[in-house]
């Protein structure tokens, strides 16, 4: 009888481990996986082209606006360009960002 209870308890423990193990593995490996996924996205062509296009559009809006709006656009441009690699910027955008800093 005790042998049967011990086998049942061991079987239930094994099932619990099999069910819960993926959650613990993801808890450990999830952040690392997400970091790699984000790095790959940041290096993608579509992300870089989209960021450049957004910065160029903001530059045009900045040059056409009055002083009140320029301050807001300046902060937005500096914030968006902060995480973007400077060597990927066009020469015009590099010059523009240095001017508004």
The string of DSSP letters for 74-90 reads: HHHHHHHHHSS-GGGS-
Do residues 49 and 96 both lie within one domain?
Answer: yes
* Cα of 35 vs its chain's centroid, Å: 8
> How far apart, in Å, are the Cα atoms of 25 and each of 14, 17, 36, 40, 92?
16, 12, 16, 22, 47
- Which range of residues forms the domain containing residue 69? 45-100
Do residues 66 and 95 both lie within one domain?
Answer: yes
Q: What is the pLDDT of residue 15?
A: 86
User: Is residue 27 assigned to a domain?
Assistant: yes
Which residue, among 53, 48, 63, 64, has the nearest Cα to 96 in the 3D structure?
63
Mean pLDDT for all residues in the chain: 88
Per-residue tokens: 66: 């009055």
Per-residue tokens: 22: 């993926």
Q: What is the pLDDT of residue 94?
A: 94
How many independent structural domains does the chain possess? Answer: 2
pTM of the model: 0.66
Do residues 19 and 56 both lie within one domain?
Answer: no
Average pLDDT of span 67-88: 91
User: Is residue 40 assigned to a domain?
Assistant: no
- Per cent of the chain over pLDDT 90 is 44
Task: Pick the more confident residue, 39 or 56.
Answer: 56
Q: What is the pLDDT of residue 68?
A: 87
User: Is residue 38 assigned to a domain?
Assistant: no
How many alpha carbons fall within 13 Å on the CB side of residue 41? Answer: 7
Do residues 7 and 29 both lie within one domain?
Answer: yes
Which residue, among 55, 48, 51, 50, has the nearest Cα to 76 in the 3D structure?
55
Of 18-27, 53-62, 90-99, minimum mean pLDDT range:
18-27
DSSP 1: -
Model confidence at 12, pLDDT cuts 50, 70, 90, reads: confident
């Amino acid at each position: 009888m005790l042998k049967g209870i011990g086998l049942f308890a061991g079987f239930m423990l094994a099932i619990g481990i099999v069910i819960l193990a993926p959650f613990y593995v993801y808890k450990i490996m999830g952040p690392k996986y997400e970091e790699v996924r984000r790095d790959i996205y940041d290096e993608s062509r579509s992300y870089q082209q989209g960021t450049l296009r957004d910065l160029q559009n903001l530059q045009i809006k900045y040059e056409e606006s009055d002083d009140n709006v320029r301050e807001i656009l300046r902060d937005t441009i500096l914030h968006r360009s902060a995480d973007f690699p400077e060597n990927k910027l066009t020469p015009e955008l590099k010059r523009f960002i240095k001017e508004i800093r």
